[in-house]
Amino acid sequence: MSKILILGAGISGHVAASHLRRKLSKEHEVVVVSPNSNYQWIPSNIWVGIGRMKSKEILFPLAPLYKKKGIGYKQAKAISFFPEGDKNQPKPYVLSEYVAGDKKGQQEKITYDYLINATGPKLNFEATEGLIPGENRTYSVCTYSHADHAWHGLKALIDEMKTGKKVKILIGTGHGSSTCQGAAFEYILNVEQELRRHKVREMAEITWISNEHKLGDFGMDGMLLSYGSMTLKSYEMVEMIFEDRGIKWILGAGVNKIEDGIAHYENLEGSYKTETYDFAMLIPAFSGHGFKAFDKNENDITEKLFKGFMIVDADYTPKPYEEWSVKDWPETYQNPTYQNIFAPGIAFAPPHAISKPRKSKNGTVISPAPPRTGMPSGITAKLVADNIIDTIKSGKESLSHKGSLGNMGAACIASAGYGLTQGSGVSITTYPIVPDYEKYPNTQGRKLGKTFGEIGLAGHWLKLALHYAFIYKAKMRPFWWLIPE
Protein backbone atom coordinates (compact mmCIF):
# COMPACT_ATOMS: atom_id res chain seq x y z
CA MET A 1 0.00 0.00 0.00
CA SER A 2 1.25 3.49 -0.85
CA LYS A 3 0.30 6.88 0.45
CA ILE A 4 0.41 9.83 -1.92
CA LEU A 5 0.33 13.24 -0.33
CA ILE A 6 -0.69 16.20 -2.47
CA LEU A 7 -0.05 19.73 -1.25
CA GLY A 8 -2.51 22.15 -2.81
CA ALA A 9 -5.95 21.77 -4.34
CA GLY A 10 -5.72 24.18 -7.24
CA ILE A 11 -5.81 23.08 -10.86
CA SER A 12 -2.61 21.05 -10.53
CA GLY A 13 -3.22 19.42 -7.15
CA HIS A 14 -6.84 18.62 -7.91
CA VAL A 15 -6.03 17.10 -11.32
CA ALA A 16 -3.34 14.90 -9.73
CA ALA A 17 -5.67 13.80 -6.90
CA SER A 18 -8.50 13.01 -9.34
CA HIS A 19 -6.39 10.84 -11.62
CA LEU A 20 -4.60 9.06 -8.79
CA ARG A 21 -7.88 8.19 -7.11
CA ARG A 22 -9.46 7.00 -10.34
CA LYS A 23 -6.58 4.76 -11.37
CA LEU A 24 -5.33 3.42 -8.04
CA SER A 25 -7.18 0.84 -6.00
CA LYS A 26 -8.56 1.85 -2.60
CA GLU A 27 -5.74 0.12 -0.75
CA HIS A 28 -3.61 3.10 -1.75
CA GLU A 29 -4.21 6.33 0.09
CA VAL A 30 -4.53 9.73 -1.64
CA VAL A 31 -4.47 12.70 0.72
CA VAL A 32 -4.83 16.36 -0.20
CA VAL A 33 -3.61 19.08 2.14
CA SER A 34 -4.78 22.57 1.29
CA PRO A 35 -5.51 25.68 3.34
CA ASN A 36 -8.41 26.44 0.98
CA SER A 37 -11.83 24.95 1.61
CA ASN A 38 -13.00 25.53 -1.98
CA TYR A 39 -11.88 24.57 -5.43
CA GLN A 40 -11.96 27.61 -7.71
CA TRP A 41 -11.85 27.79 -11.49
CA ILE A 42 -9.43 30.71 -11.60
CA PRO A 43 -9.79 31.66 -15.31
CA SER A 44 -13.38 32.80 -14.65
CA ASN A 45 -12.31 35.24 -11.91
CA ILE A 46 -12.22 37.84 -14.69
CA TRP A 47 -15.99 37.68 -15.00
CA VAL A 48 -16.45 37.87 -11.23
CA GLY A 49 -14.33 41.03 -11.31
CA ILE A 50 -16.77 42.73 -13.69
CA GLY A 51 -19.89 41.53 -11.90
CA ARG A 52 -21.07 39.23 -14.69
CA MET A 53 -20.60 36.04 -12.69
CA LYS A 54 -21.05 35.34 -8.98
CA SER A 55 -18.09 33.83 -7.18
CA LYS A 56 -20.27 30.85 -6.14
CA GLU A 57 -20.52 29.95 -9.84
CA ILE A 58 -16.77 29.37 -10.09
CA LEU A 59 -16.17 27.42 -6.91
CA PHE A 60 -17.36 24.43 -4.92
CA PRO A 61 -16.41 23.00 -1.52
CA LEU A 62 -13.71 20.35 -1.60
CA ALA A 63 -14.52 18.36 1.54
CA PRO A 64 -17.82 16.74 0.37
CA LEU A 65 -16.37 15.80 -3.03
CA TYR A 66 -13.22 14.29 -1.56
CA LYS A 67 -15.24 12.39 1.05
CA LYS A 68 -17.49 10.95 -1.66
CA LYS A 69 -14.55 9.96 -3.87
CA GLY A 70 -12.40 8.50 -1.11
CA ILE A 71 -9.71 11.17 -1.18
CA GLY A 72 -8.37 12.23 2.20
CA TYR A 73 -8.53 15.96 2.85
CA LYS A 74 -6.95 18.10 5.53
CA GLN A 75 -7.59 21.83 5.57
CA ALA A 76 -4.10 22.77 6.59
CA LYS A 77 -1.04 24.58 5.33
CA ALA A 78 2.36 23.03 4.80
CA ILE A 79 5.10 24.50 6.98
CA SER A 80 8.27 22.46 6.43
CA PHE A 81 9.48 19.37 4.62
CA PHE A 82 11.23 16.36 6.18
CA PRO A 83 11.96 14.12 3.18
CA GLU A 84 13.98 11.67 5.32
CA GLY A 85 11.71 11.81 8.37
CA ASP A 86 13.34 12.63 11.68
CA LYS A 87 14.71 10.83 14.75
CA ASN A 88 11.22 9.90 15.91
CA GLN A 89 9.47 9.44 12.58
CA PRO A 90 11.24 7.15 10.09
CA LYS A 91 8.92 7.97 7.21
CA PRO A 92 9.21 11.18 5.19
CA TYR A 93 6.64 13.77 6.15
CA VAL A 94 5.45 17.32 5.74
CA LEU A 95 4.85 19.31 8.90
CA SER A 96 1.48 20.99 8.45
CA GLU A 97 -0.76 23.23 10.49
CA TYR A 98 -4.55 23.07 10.42
CA VAL A 99 -6.17 26.39 9.50
CA ALA A 100 -9.83 25.61 10.24
CA GLY A 101 -12.11 23.37 12.30
CA ASP A 102 -11.54 21.75 15.69
CA LYS A 103 -7.87 21.19 15.00
CA LYS A 104 -7.15 24.80 13.99
CA GLY A 105 -3.64 25.78 15.04
CA GLN A 106 -2.58 22.16 15.65
CA GLN A 107 0.44 20.81 13.81
CA GLU A 108 0.69 17.33 12.34
CA LYS A 109 3.44 15.30 10.72
CA ILE A 110 1.72 14.04 7.56
CA THR A 111 3.73 11.10 6.24
CA TYR A 112 3.92 9.99 2.63
CA ASP A 113 5.44 7.53 0.19
CA TYR A 114 5.09 9.97 -2.70
CA LEU A 115 4.74 13.72 -2.42
CA ILE A 116 3.24 16.03 -5.05
CA ASN A 117 3.96 19.65 -4.27
CA ALA A 118 1.26 21.60 -6.08
CA THR A 119 1.27 24.62 -3.85
CA GLY A 120 1.35 27.06 -6.76
CA PRO A 121 2.69 30.54 -6.23
CA LYS A 122 2.53 32.89 -3.30
CA LEU A 123 0.85 36.12 -4.42
CA ASN A 124 3.67 38.36 -3.31
CA PHE A 125 1.84 41.66 -2.84
CA GLU A 126 4.43 42.61 -0.19
CA ALA A 127 7.06 42.95 -2.93
CA THR A 128 5.42 46.22 -4.01
CA GLU A 129 4.97 48.80 -1.28
CA GLY A 130 1.32 49.77 -0.88
CA LEU A 131 -0.01 47.12 -3.28
CA ILE A 132 -2.73 45.65 -1.09
CA PRO A 133 -5.94 44.37 -2.69
CA GLY A 134 -8.79 46.67 -1.70
CA GLU A 135 -6.52 49.45 -0.41
CA ASN A 136 -5.16 52.54 -2.15
CA ARG A 137 -7.86 51.97 -4.80
CA THR A 138 -5.96 48.93 -6.10
CA TYR A 139 -7.59 45.58 -6.66
CA SER A 140 -6.68 42.08 -7.81
CA VAL A 141 -8.51 39.29 -9.62
CA CYS A 142 -6.12 36.55 -8.53
CA THR A 143 -8.66 34.87 -6.22
CA TYR A 144 -12.45 34.85 -6.19
CA SER A 145 -12.57 36.98 -3.04
CA HIS A 146 -10.21 39.52 -4.64
CA ALA A 147 -12.34 39.50 -7.78
CA ASP A 148 -15.52 40.07 -5.74
CA HIS A 149 -13.82 43.01 -4.11
CA ALA A 150 -12.66 44.36 -7.48
CA TRP A 151 -16.23 44.30 -8.75
CA HIS A 152 -17.46 46.33 -5.77
CA GLY A 153 -14.74 48.89 -6.47
CA LEU A 154 -15.53 49.00 -10.18
CA LYS A 155 -19.27 49.25 -9.58
CA ALA A 156 -18.80 52.23 -7.26
CA LEU A 157 -16.63 53.85 -9.93
CA ILE A 158 -19.24 53.26 -12.65
CA ASP A 159 -21.87 54.87 -10.40
CA GLU A 160 -19.61 57.92 -10.02
CA MET A 161 -19.07 58.05 -13.78
CA LYS A 162 -22.81 58.06 -14.30
CA THR A 163 -22.96 61.28 -12.29
CA GLY A 164 -20.46 62.87 -14.68
CA LYS A 165 -17.11 62.17 -13.05
CA LYS A 166 -14.19 61.52 -15.38
CA VAL A 167 -11.88 58.77 -14.17
CA LYS A 168 -8.59 57.05 -14.90
CA ILE A 169 -8.30 53.28 -14.86
CA LEU A 170 -4.95 51.53 -14.67
CA ILE A 171 -4.64 47.80 -15.30
CA GLY A 172 -1.59 45.59 -15.73
CA THR A 173 1.32 44.34 -13.65
CA GLY A 174 2.21 45.62 -10.21
CA HIS A 175 5.88 44.61 -10.08
CA GLY A 176 8.90 44.56 -12.36
CA SER A 177 8.95 40.77 -12.46
CA SER A 178 5.23 39.96 -12.38
CA THR A 179 3.82 37.32 -14.65
CA CYS A 180 0.25 36.43 -15.67
CA GLN A 181 -0.11 39.39 -18.05
CA GLY A 182 -2.86 37.36 -19.73
CA ALA A 183 -5.21 37.81 -16.77
CA ALA A 184 -4.65 41.57 -16.75
CA PHE A 185 -5.12 41.64 -20.54
CA GLU A 186 -8.47 39.90 -20.16
CA TYR A 187 -9.54 42.17 -17.36
CA ILE A 188 -8.72 45.42 -19.16
CA LEU A 189 -10.75 44.36 -22.21
CA ASN A 190 -13.67 43.21 -20.07
CA VAL A 191 -13.67 46.44 -18.06
CA GLU A 192 -13.60 48.45 -21.28
CA GLN A 193 -16.58 46.53 -22.64
CA GLU A 194 -18.51 46.87 -19.36
CA LEU A 195 -18.00 50.64 -19.42
CA ARG A 196 -19.49 50.70 -22.92
CA ARG A 197 -22.40 48.55 -21.73
CA HIS A 198 -23.04 51.03 -18.92
CA LYS A 199 -22.71 53.89 -21.46
CA VAL A 200 -19.88 55.59 -19.56
CA ARG A 201 -16.93 54.64 -21.75
CA GLU A 202 -16.19 58.23 -22.76
CA MET A 203 -15.82 59.15 -19.08
CA ALA A 204 -12.80 56.89 -18.59
CA GLU A 205 -9.19 56.96 -19.66
CA ILE A 206 -7.98 53.37 -19.63
CA THR A 207 -4.27 52.61 -19.48
CA TRP A 208 -2.34 49.34 -19.66
CA ILE A 209 0.84 49.31 -17.57
CA SER A 210 3.18 46.37 -17.92
CA ASN A 211 6.69 45.09 -17.36
CA GLU A 212 6.64 43.70 -20.91
CA HIS A 213 9.14 45.12 -23.37
CA LYS A 214 6.50 44.96 -26.10
CA LEU A 215 2.75 44.47 -26.12
CA GLY A 216 1.74 40.82 -26.49
CA ASP A 217 4.89 39.47 -24.81
CA PHE A 218 2.82 37.68 -22.13
CA GLY A 219 6.02 36.44 -20.51
CA MET A 220 6.54 34.15 -23.51
CA ASP A 221 8.75 36.47 -25.55
CA GLY A 222 5.76 37.24 -27.74
CA MET A 223 5.00 35.01 -30.68
CA LEU A 224 4.67 34.91 -34.39
CA LEU A 225 1.17 33.65 -35.14
CA SER A 226 -1.21 32.87 -37.93
CA TYR A 227 -4.11 35.31 -37.96
CA GLY A 228 -6.60 34.56 -40.70
CA SER A 229 -4.61 34.47 -43.91
CA MET A 230 -1.83 36.60 -42.42
CA THR A 231 1.16 35.99 -40.19
CA LEU A 232 1.32 38.56 -37.41
CA LYS A 233 3.52 39.22 -34.43
CA SER A 234 1.56 39.09 -31.17
CA TYR A 235 2.40 42.73 -30.41
CA GLU A 236 0.77 43.75 -33.68
CA MET A 237 -2.41 41.91 -32.75
CA VAL A 238 -2.58 43.35 -29.23
CA GLU A 239 -1.73 46.83 -30.52
CA MET A 240 -4.59 46.55 -33.00
CA ILE A 241 -7.01 45.55 -30.22
CA PHE A 242 -5.85 48.27 -27.82
CA GLU A 243 -5.96 51.02 -30.43
CA ASP A 244 -9.38 49.89 -31.57
CA ARG A 245 -10.64 49.96 -27.97
CA GLY A 246 -8.96 53.31 -27.18
CA ILE A 247 -6.65 51.82 -24.55
CA LYS A 248 -3.33 53.57 -23.92
CA TRP A 249 -0.25 51.66 -22.81
CA ILE A 250 2.92 52.07 -20.77
CA LEU A 251 5.54 49.37 -21.34
CA GLY A 252 8.79 48.38 -19.65
CA ALA A 253 7.37 49.61 -16.35
CA GLY A 254 8.35 48.12 -13.01
CA VAL A 255 5.78 49.36 -10.50
CA ASN A 256 7.56 49.75 -7.17
CA LYS A 257 5.22 51.71 -4.93
CA ILE A 258 1.52 52.41 -4.64
CA GLU A 259 0.00 55.36 -2.86
CA ASP A 260 -3.68 56.23 -2.81
CA GLY A 261 -4.39 56.78 -6.50
CA ILE A 262 -0.72 57.00 -7.54
CA ALA A 263 1.41 54.22 -9.04
CA HIS A 264 5.15 54.85 -8.89
CA TYR A 265 7.21 53.01 -11.46
CA GLU A 266 10.63 52.83 -13.01
CA ASN A 267 11.02 52.28 -16.73
CA LEU A 268 13.73 50.56 -18.72
CA GLU A 269 15.40 53.91 -19.44
CA GLY A 270 15.91 54.23 -15.69
CA SER A 271 13.44 57.11 -15.23
CA TYR A 272 11.20 57.19 -12.17
CA LYS A 273 7.64 58.15 -13.07
CA THR A 274 4.14 58.15 -11.66
CA GLU A 275 0.72 57.41 -13.06
CA THR A 276 -2.45 58.53 -11.31
CA TYR A 277 -5.63 56.47 -11.26
CA ASP A 278 -9.07 56.16 -9.71
CA PHE A 279 -9.19 52.36 -10.03
CA ALA A 280 -6.30 49.98 -10.57
CA MET A 281 -6.02 46.22 -10.98
CA LEU A 282 -2.39 45.21 -10.80
CA ILE A 283 -1.09 41.64 -10.82
CA PRO A 284 1.52 41.12 -8.07
CA ALA A 285 4.82 39.29 -8.36
CA PHE A 286 4.62 35.54 -7.78
CA SER A 287 7.08 33.87 -5.45
CA GLY A 288 7.69 30.57 -3.72
CA HIS A 289 6.16 30.02 -0.29
CA GLY A 290 9.44 30.15 1.59
CA PHE A 291 9.22 26.54 2.80
CA LYS A 292 12.12 25.06 4.74
CA ALA A 293 13.40 21.49 4.48
CA PHE A 294 15.35 19.38 6.98
CA ASP A 295 17.10 16.02 6.90
CA LYS A 296 16.62 13.28 9.52
CA ASN A 297 19.13 14.99 11.81
CA GLU A 298 17.20 18.23 11.38
CA ASN A 299 19.95 19.94 9.39
CA ASP A 300 18.66 22.56 6.99
CA ILE A 301 18.58 21.09 3.45
CA THR A 302 16.29 23.71 1.91
CA GLU A 303 18.70 24.26 -1.01
CA LYS A 304 18.20 20.60 -2.06
CA LEU A 305 14.48 21.11 -2.47
CA PHE A 306 13.90 24.76 -3.20
CA LYS A 307 15.24 27.52 -5.34
CA GLY A 308 12.37 29.88 -4.52
CA PHE A 309 10.05 27.31 -6.08
CA MET A 310 10.79 23.54 -5.96
CA ILE A 311 13.85 22.14 -7.74
CA VAL A 312 12.98 19.54 -10.37
CA ASP A 313 14.68 17.85 -13.34
CA ALA A 314 15.57 21.11 -15.09
CA ASP A 315 19.03 22.37 -15.99
CA TYR A 316 19.57 25.24 -13.59
CA THR A 317 23.12 26.02 -14.72
CA PRO A 318 23.35 29.81 -14.98
CA LYS A 319 24.05 30.82 -18.58
CA PRO A 320 23.57 33.81 -20.84
CA TYR A 321 20.29 34.31 -22.70
CA GLU A 322 21.87 33.30 -26.03
CA GLU A 323 22.70 29.85 -24.62
CA TRP A 324 19.27 29.09 -23.22
CA SER A 325 17.84 25.92 -24.64
CA VAL A 326 14.44 24.34 -24.67
CA LYS A 327 16.18 21.26 -23.27
CA ASP A 328 16.78 23.14 -20.00
CA TRP A 329 13.10 22.76 -19.15
CA PRO A 330 11.94 19.86 -16.97
CA GLU A 331 10.21 16.77 -18.33
CA THR A 332 9.07 14.76 -15.32
CA TYR A 333 8.97 17.39 -12.52
CA GLN A 334 10.82 15.02 -10.20
CA ASN A 335 13.16 16.38 -7.55
CA PRO A 336 16.67 15.08 -8.34
CA THR A 337 17.61 14.45 -4.70
CA TYR A 338 14.40 12.90 -3.42
CA GLN A 339 12.89 10.89 -6.21
CA ASN A 340 9.53 10.44 -4.52
CA ILE A 341 8.90 14.21 -4.63
CA PHE A 342 7.37 15.96 -7.63
CA ALA A 343 6.35 19.55 -8.35
CA PRO A 344 4.02 20.07 -11.31
CA GLY A 345 2.09 23.22 -12.25
CA ILE A 346 3.43 26.49 -10.94
CA ALA A 347 5.25 24.91 -7.99
CA PHE A 348 8.45 24.02 -9.88
CA ALA A 349 11.36 26.41 -10.26
CA PRO A 350 11.75 27.34 -13.93
CA PRO A 351 15.33 27.08 -15.22
CA HIS A 352 15.13 30.60 -16.62
CA ALA A 353 12.65 33.11 -17.97
CA ILE A 354 11.15 32.72 -21.44
CA SER A 355 11.18 36.42 -22.30
CA LYS A 356 14.58 37.98 -22.71
CA PRO A 357 15.59 39.36 -19.30
CA ARG A 358 15.87 43.12 -19.17
CA LYS A 359 17.09 45.53 -16.55
CA SER A 360 16.63 49.25 -16.24
CA LYS A 361 19.66 51.51 -16.43
CA ASN A 362 19.58 51.45 -12.62
CA GLY A 363 19.84 47.66 -12.58
CA THR A 364 16.22 46.92 -11.67
CA VAL A 365 14.85 43.76 -13.28
CA ILE A 366 11.90 44.75 -15.47
CA SER A 367 10.80 41.74 -17.46
CA PRO A 368 8.05 39.17 -17.09
CA ALA A 369 8.56 35.89 -15.28
CA PRO A 370 7.47 32.79 -17.23
CA PRO A 371 3.74 32.03 -17.13
CA ARG A 372 2.86 28.44 -16.20
CA THR A 373 -0.81 28.64 -15.53
CA GLY A 374 -3.97 26.75 -16.49
CA MET A 375 -3.55 24.07 -19.04
CA PRO A 376 0.16 23.25 -18.56
CA SER A 377 -0.56 22.92 -14.82
CA GLY A 378 -3.18 20.29 -15.54
CA ILE A 379 -1.04 18.43 -18.07
CA THR A 380 2.06 18.33 -15.88
CA ALA A 381 -0.02 17.22 -12.87
CA LYS A 382 -1.55 14.38 -14.86
CA LEU A 383 1.79 13.13 -16.13
CA VAL A 384 3.23 13.20 -12.61
CA ALA A 385 0.20 11.23 -11.38
CA ASP A 386 0.62 8.74 -14.25
CA ASN A 387 4.29 8.19 -13.44
CA ILE A 388 3.49 7.56 -9.76
CA ILE A 389 0.68 5.17 -10.74
CA ASP A 390 3.00 3.24 -13.08
CA THR A 391 5.70 3.11 -10.40
CA ILE A 392 3.29 1.79 -7.77
CA LYS A 393 1.76 -0.78 -10.12
CA SER A 394 5.06 -2.05 -11.54
CA GLY A 395 7.00 -1.90 -8.30
CA LYS A 396 9.91 -0.09 -9.95
CA GLU A 397 10.47 3.55 -10.81
CA SER A 398 8.76 4.53 -14.04
CA LEU A 399 9.13 7.95 -15.65
CA SER A 400 7.76 7.17 -19.09
CA HIS A 401 5.32 10.08 -19.06
CA LYS A 402 7.09 13.27 -20.02
CA GLY A 403 5.90 16.74 -20.80
CA SER A 404 8.30 19.59 -21.29
CA LEU A 405 6.84 23.03 -21.84
CA GLY A 406 9.12 22.98 -24.87
CA ASN A 407 7.11 20.13 -26.37
CA MET A 408 3.60 21.04 -25.32
CA GLY A 409 0.92 23.25 -26.82
CA ALA A 410 -1.18 25.68 -24.83
CA ALA A 411 -4.42 27.45 -25.51
CA CYS A 412 -5.14 30.84 -24.03
CA ILE A 413 -8.75 31.81 -24.55
CA ALA A 414 -8.68 35.40 -23.33
CA SER A 415 -12.05 36.93 -22.69
CA ALA A 416 -12.40 40.32 -24.34
CA GLY A 417 -15.91 41.02 -23.13
CA TYR A 418 -18.85 39.13 -21.63
CA GLY A 419 -22.20 38.49 -23.32
CA LEU A 420 -23.85 35.71 -25.30
CA THR A 421 -24.26 37.93 -28.37
CA GLN A 422 -22.07 40.91 -27.50
CA GLY A 423 -19.14 39.07 -25.95
CA SER A 424 -15.75 38.58 -27.52
CA GLY A 425 -12.65 36.52 -26.99
CA VAL A 426 -9.09 36.46 -28.19
CA SER A 427 -8.21 32.83 -28.79
CA ILE A 428 -4.48 32.18 -28.97
CA THR A 429 -2.76 28.82 -29.14
CA THR A 430 0.98 28.44 -28.84
CA TYR A 431 3.09 25.48 -29.77
CA PRO A 432 5.41 24.97 -28.06
CA ILE A 433 5.01 27.13 -24.95
CA VAL A 434 8.78 27.54 -24.55
CA PRO A 435 10.16 28.43 -27.98
CA ASP A 436 12.30 25.77 -29.63
CA TYR A 437 14.73 27.65 -31.84
CA GLU A 438 16.35 24.45 -33.08
CA LYS A 439 13.14 22.97 -34.46
CA TYR A 440 11.55 26.22 -35.61
CA PRO A 441 14.44 28.60 -36.30
CA ASN A 442 12.61 30.82 -38.78
CA THR A 443 9.34 31.31 -36.91
CA GLN A 444 10.61 32.59 -33.56
CA GLY A 445 10.79 29.10 -32.10
CA ARG A 446 7.17 28.17 -32.67
CA LYS A 447 5.21 26.22 -35.24
CA LEU A 448 3.01 28.41 -37.39
CA GLY A 449 -0.49 27.06 -37.84
CA LYS A 450 -0.38 25.50 -34.39
CA THR A 451 0.41 29.01 -33.10
CA PHE A 452 -2.52 31.10 -34.13
CA GLY A 453 -4.85 33.87 -33.01
CA GLU A 454 -8.54 34.59 -33.59
CA ILE A 455 -10.75 37.40 -32.33
CA GLY A 456 -14.52 37.27 -32.09
CA LEU A 457 -17.70 36.10 -30.42
CA ALA A 458 -16.73 32.44 -30.83
CA GLY A 459 -13.84 33.05 -28.43
CA HIS A 460 -16.30 34.11 -25.74
CA TRP A 461 -18.45 31.04 -26.29
CA LEU A 462 -15.35 28.89 -26.16
CA LYS A 463 -14.22 30.36 -22.84
CA LEU A 464 -17.74 29.93 -21.45
CA ALA A 465 -17.85 26.32 -22.69
CA LEU A 466 -14.47 25.65 -21.07
CA HIS A 467 -15.75 27.17 -17.82
CA TYR A 468 -18.62 24.69 -17.63
CA ALA A 469 -16.59 21.75 -18.96
CA PHE A 470 -13.75 22.18 -16.48
CA ILE A 471 -16.03 22.70 -13.50
CA TYR A 472 -17.86 19.52 -14.56
CA LYS A 473 -14.51 17.77 -14.78
CA ALA A 474 -13.31 19.14 -11.44
CA LYS A 475 -16.51 17.91 -9.76
CA MET A 476 -15.59 14.46 -11.10
CA ARG A 477 -18.99 13.95 -12.68
CA PRO A 478 -19.56 10.88 -14.92
CA PHE A 479 -16.87 10.44 -17.59
CA TRP A 480 -15.01 13.56 -16.34
CA TRP A 481 -11.74 11.95 -17.37
CA LEU A 482 -12.70 12.14 -21.04
CA ILE A 483 -12.24 15.91 -20.94
CA PRO A 484 -8.56 16.61 -21.64
CA GLU A 485 -6.48 18.80 -19.36
Give the interface with other proteins as residue ranges (CB under 8 A): 240-241, 243-246, 326-327, 329, 331, 375, 379, 383, 402-404, 406-411, 413, 421-422, 424, 427, 429, 431, 436, 450, 452, 454-459, 461-462, 465, 484
Rounded-to-integer distance, Cα 329 and Cα 341, Å: 17
Rounded Cα–Cα distance for residues 426 and 176 (Å): 25
Shortest gap between Cβ of 458 and other proteins (angstroms)? 4
- State in angstroms the smallest separation of the CB of 409 from other proteins: 4
The secondary structure of 388-448 as a DSSP string is HHHHHHHSS--------GGG--EEEEEEEE--TTT-EEEEEEESSSS--TTTSTTTTTS-B
Q: With respect to other proteins, which residue has the nearer C-beta, 36 or 332?
A: 332
Least Cβ distance, residue 185 to other proteins (angstroms): 16
The DSSP code sequence of 438-462 is TTSTTTTTS-BTTBEEEEEHHHHHH
Shortest distance in whole angstroms from residue 131 CB to other proteins: 30
Residue 186: name the closest of 464, 419, 414 by CA.
414
What is the nearest approach in angstroms of other proteins to the Cβ of residue 201?
9
**Alpha carbon of 316 to those of 230, 312, 384: distances in Å?**
38, 9, 20
- Closest approach of other proteins to the CB of residue 431, in Å: 6
115 versus 433: smaller Cβ distance to other proteins: 433
In the bound state with other proteins, the residue whose beta carbon lies nearer, of 92 and 453, is 453
Q: Which is nearer to other proteins, 325 or 364 (CB)?
A: 325
Is 268:252 a contact under the CB 8 Å cutoff? Answer: yes
Q: Shortest Cβ distance from residue 402 to other proteins (Å)?
A: 4
> Of 159 and 243, which CB lies nearer to other proteins in the complex structure?
243
Report the Cα 248 to chain-centroid distance in Å. 25
How many helices (H) and strands (E) would you count in the chain? 9, 28
Of the two residues 70 and 484, which places its CB atom closer to other proteins in the complex? 484
Q: What's the min distance (Å) between Cβ of 450 and other proteins?
A: 5
Q: Supply the angle between the helices 181-197 and 234-245 in degrees, to the nearest 10.
A: 20
* Peptide bond preceding 484 in cis form (omega within 30 of 0): no
Q: Choose between 42 and 366: whose C-beta lies nearer to other proteins.
A: 42
Nearer to other proteins, 222 or 406 (CB): 406
Residue 7 or 412 with smaller CB distance to other proteins: 412
Least distance CB 244 / other proteins (angstroms): 4
Question: CA 57 to CA 253: how far, in whole Å?
Answer: 35
Do 341 and 335 meet the contact criterion of CB atoms below 8 Å apart?
A: yes
CA 27, 35, 471, 112: dihedral to nearest 10 degrees? -20
Do the beta carbons of residue 35 and residue 8 sit within 8 Å?
Answer: no
Query: What's the rounded Cα separation, in Å, for the pair 459 and 111?
Result: 45
Element (H, E) at 293: strand 292-293
